[in-house]
Amino acid sequence: MSVTLGITPEVLAGLGLPAREKLDDQRQRGAACVWCAGVLDAESAVDLGEQPPPARWFPRACQSCVTGRAWRGFLDHAMPCARCGGASGVLCETGRALSRLARGRRL
């Protein structure tokens, strides 16, 4: 069973979701990972949520790609973010979500 993330637009931006029109049919339909094009099944897919019109679609990815992209997204996000980059150790909602995904956890 694929897992649907409670994913915000800010988290998707951190992951670097590719534009739908740049993907082949398999990746647009969610049969393959949007990044590595690896074949997905119900057990291995991470559902990245419905993307809004005008290009409504339902991208999915493999856990390995989500983990790697979330880590890079967290590092890019944390430096300029006042909460995530501060000494308090308290992360904002986006930083917390990217951190969880980077550790292979679900939202």
* pLDDT tens by residue, 45-71: 988 888 877 778 889 999 999 999 999
* 85 within a domain of the structure (yes/no): yes
Which residue range forms the structural domain that includes residue 37?
A: 3-102
pLDDT tens digit string along 2-28?
444 568 889 999 999 999 999 999 999
* 107 within a domain of the structure (yes/no): no
* 7 within a domain of the structure (yes/no): yes
Count of structural domains within the chain: 1
Residue 97 near residue 84 (C-beta atoms within 8 A): no
- Cis, bond preceding 54 (omega within 30 deg of 0): yes
- Angstrom CA distances, 89 to 17, 52, 69, 78, 100, stand at 27, 33, 22, 11, 14
